[in-house]
Chain A
C-alpha cells in the first residue's frame, strides 16, 4: 500500500528533465548544476588550502629558532592570522558544505539539483571573491589579531583588518544562503519514500550543518558589521573608553564560532558514516542514534560559546553551566564514536585509502575530543588557555577531524566525480605519511602548551626549541605528504583507470548512476523503501534505471518488499 503510493509519487511532478546547457561558460563557469558548483567549490577550496597551508609552513619556519627565523613580529602576526582565517573560512567550511554537500547531497536524496540553483550559483561566486579579498589584505597590512580578531587589537589593527571583515562577511552570507538552500532541498526534494529515517547519514549531517549555517552565521555578520562600523565610521561598540565593551565581540564572535566548529566537523562525521559501513561491509550500527546525535550536537552547540571566555573576566557563576553544557556535547559525540566502532566490529574491512583516512579520523579525532574535555574544565582551562595546548587541540579536531574526513571523502567520491580511479598504493602512502607526520607535528604541542609556551608568539624561550624543531620538521613532511595526493589526483585525471558506476559496492543512491553522473542525475526518480545500509539485502529502491555497465553486477533492486516504517 505504502509502496504503491510511493511508486506512484515517483512518476509525479519531480519528473521533468531540464536540457543540458550548451557552451563552455554555461557548462563549467556559470553552471546551475549543483555537481559543477560542487567541483568549483573544491577547486577554489584546494587553491586556498595550498595558500593557507604554505602560510602554516611559514609559521613553522619562523619557529625553528627561539628568536624567530625569518619574520618581524608584525609580519608574523599577519601570517598566522591569515593561516587560520583561510583554513576555517576559505577551506574547511566551503569544501565541506559547498563542495561535498553540493555534489553528493542531491544525488543521495534522489534529486536532480538543489532547490534554488541560482542562489547556489550566487553563493558560490561570493566564495572566491571573499578569498581573494582575504588574502590580498597582505598588500595593505594583514590583520594581526589572530582568526578571532579580538578588540581592541582588531579595532586598532592595520588597514587589512577591514578587508578581513568584508571577506568574512561575504563568505558568511554565502554560507547562510547555502544553508537555506540545503534545508529546503533536504526538506522538500527527497525521492518518494525517502522518509527522514531513510536518509543517508551524510544527508543528516548536511541538514544539521545547514541549520547551523542558517542561524549562527548571521550572528557573526552582526559582529563583523559592528567591527567594520567601528573601524571605518568610528562608531563605538567595542571601545571601552567610550562605553563599548571588548567582551561584547567575544560573545558575538563565539556565538557563531562555536557552532562553526560543528559546521566544520558535522559533514566530516557524515562522510565517515558513509565510509565505515561501505568498507566494513556491514549495516551501520545505531543509524537513528547517529542521525539524531548530529541534531543534538547542532542544538547543544548554541549553548556553550562562553567556554572560550573563561579567562576573559566573565561572571564566575556562569562558568559552571557553560562547563557542564560543553561536557554534555561529549555524549552525542561519544554515541557516534561508539556506533562507528560497533559498525567496524565483526566487519570484513577493506583497507582502501578512504577507509584508512576514516580510521585515522577515528583515532585522532577521539584524541582531540578528549583534550577538548580538558579545555572545557574551568580549572584546567585557566592553566591551558592561550597556550600551545589549544593549538594542539584545534589541529587534532580540525586537521585530524575535518581534513582527514575531507581526504576520506575525496578518496571515496573522486571516482564518482571524475569517472577515474585514484591509485590505491599512492593513497596508502599518502595516508601513512600524513598520519605519522601529523601526529609528530601536533602531539608535542600538547606538552609545549602545558609547559607554558603561549600561542601566537614570534619568539619563545630557548628551552622550547627542541620540540618546536620537531614540530617544524614534521610539518614539512606533512606538507610534502599532501603533494602525494596532488600527484595522485593529477595522474588520475590524465591516465587513471575508468571508474565503474559503483567501485566500492556502496548502496546509497549516488552509486546507482554512472560515474560521472549525467547532467540530470536520474532518468527516473527512484522510490525508496529502507535506509541504504542493509548490506546483504537487495537494494531498497524501486524504479531505478541503473547505469548500463552496472546492470549485471549490482544486486538487483528487490521485489516490492513492504516498507517497514
Chain B
C-alpha cells in the first residue's frame, strides 16, 4: 500500500505544503495539544479502574474469585477475545492506511480504508456484544464481573463514540470540509482510534492473559 502512496505526483504533495497558512497552523497545533492532553486525562480514568481491578484482584486469595454461592468463577475465554482483538488491531492498521492515503491525496483509497475501519470497528462491537451475552459472570455478581464489565464497557463506549466519529469524518471528508493541507479532524480521529486500540492492548492482557 505504501508503494502506491508514494506514486502520487510530487507536485501535488509540494503544493500542499505551500498552502499552509500561519493562523491555521497555530490553531491546529493548539488543538492537537489540547486533544493529546484530553487523551492523557482519559488514560487516567482508565488507570483508575485498572488500579481498582488490580487492587480487588490482589485482595482475595485466588482469582477468579469465588462468587456468593461459593462457586469458583471460570476464566474468560481467551480464544474468542483474541480473534476480536485482531479485528480491532486490524482496524488500527486500516486507519493508518486511510490517513496515509489522505496525506498523499488518494481520495478513493482513503474512502476504502476508512470504510474498512468503520466496518471493523462495528465488528469489534458486535463481538463484544456476543461476549457479554455468553460470558458467565454478571456485572453485579462479583468483583470480577464488576471490573470486567465496567472497564470493557467503558472501552466499548469509547469504540462506539469512535465509530460515530469516524462516520462523521468520512462524511465531512467527502463533503470537502478537509483539504490536502487542512485536515486536523482526521488527525484527531486517527489519534483517538489508535488510543482506543492501545487501551485494548492493556485490557486484553489484564483480563484474558494475566
Contacts and interface: CB of A to CB of B under 8 A. Distances in A.
A34 to B, nearest CB: 15
B56 A218 contact: no
Interface stretch (B7-15, B33-41, B102-110): B33-41
A532 B55 CA distance: 49
Nearest to B25: A13
Interface stretch (A92-100, A180-188, A376-384, A405-413): A180-188
Interface stretch (A35-43, A80-88, A197-205, A239-247): A239-247
Contacts of A116: 30-31, 34
B93 interface: no
Contact of A244 (B22, B49, B56): B56
A234 to B, nearest CB: 5
Nearest to B146: A235
Interface string B38-59: 1011101101110110011001
A324 B22 CA distance: 49
Contacts of A184: 30, 33-34, 37
B34 A218 contact: no
B117 interface: no
B68 interface: yes
Interface string A167-188: 0000000001001110110011
Contacts of A218: 41-42, 44-45, 48
B91 interface: no
A455 interface: no
Given A233-B140, A243-B60, A183 B37 contact: yes
B45 A222 contact: yes
Given A242-B68, A243-B56, A236 B23 contact: no
B52 A181 contact: no
A243 B142 contact: yes
B65 interface: yes
A13 B68 CA distance: 65
B77 interface: no
B150 A251 contact: no
Contacts of B30: 115-116, 184, 188-189
Contacts of B48: 218-219, 221-223, 252, 255
Contacts of B149: 235
A226 B151 CA distance: 11
Interface residues of A, number: 42
Interface in A5-29: 12-14, 16
Contacts of A509: none
Contacts of A214: 37, 40-41
B143 interface: yes
A114 B189 CA distance: 24
A252 B53 CA distance: 12
* A214, A217, A235 interface centre (most CB from chain B within 10 Å): A235
Nearest to B37: A180
A251 B55 contact: yes
A237 B45 contact: no
A222 to B, nearest CB: 3
Nearest to A223: B48
Interface string A242-272: 1111011001100100000000000000000
A251 B31 CA distance: 33
A54 interface: no
B139 interface: yes
Contacts of A181: 34
Contacts of B37: 179-180, 183-184, 214
Nearest to A221: B45
Contact of A188 (B33, B47, B139): B33
A13 B140 contact: no
Contact of B41 (A180, A188, A235, A242): A180
Contacts of B56: 237, 243-245, 248
Contacts of B38: 180
A215 interface: yes
B33 A219 contact: no
A12 B22 contact: yes
A443 interface: no
A296 interface: no
Contacts of A71: none
Contacts of B55: 245, 247-248, 251
Given A217-B41, A229-B150, A188 B49 contact: no
Contacts of A189: 30
B41 A251 contact: no
Interface in B145-160: 146-147, 149-150
B33 A243 contact: no
A116 B68 CA distance: 50
B40 A236 contact: no
* B31, B33, B48, B56 interface centre (most CB from chain A within 10 Å): B48
A234 B42 CA distance: 25
Interface string A96-138: 0000000000000000000110010000000000000000000
A181 B33 CA distance: 10
B34 A237 contact: no
Contacts of A252: 48, 51-52
A219 B146 contact: no
Contacts of B41: 176, 179-180, 214-215, 217-218
16 contacts: A116-B31, A119-B34, A188-B26, A214-B37, A214-B40, A219-B45, A221-B45, A222-B52, A229-B146, A233-B139, A235-B146, A237-B56, A237-B143, A243-B60, A243-B142, A244-B56
Report the 6 A-B pairs with minimum CB-CB distance, sorted nearest first: A222-B48, A13-B22, A243-B143, A218-B44, A218-B45, A180-B37
Interface of A: 12-14, 16, 115-116, 119, 176, 179-181, 183-184, 187-189, 214-219, 221-223, 225-226, 229, 233-237, 242-245, 247-248, 251-252, 255
Given A214-B37, A214-B40, 17 more contacts: A14-B26, A176-B41, A181-B34, A183-B37, A215-B40, A215-B41, A216-B44, A218-B44, A219-B48, A222-B44, A229-B146, A235-B139, A236-B140, A237-B52, A237-B146, A252-B51, A255-B48
Interface of B: 22-23, 26, 29-31, 33-34, 37-38, 40-42, 44-45, 47-49, 51-52, 55-56, 59-60, 65, 68, 139-140, 142-143, 146-147, 149-150
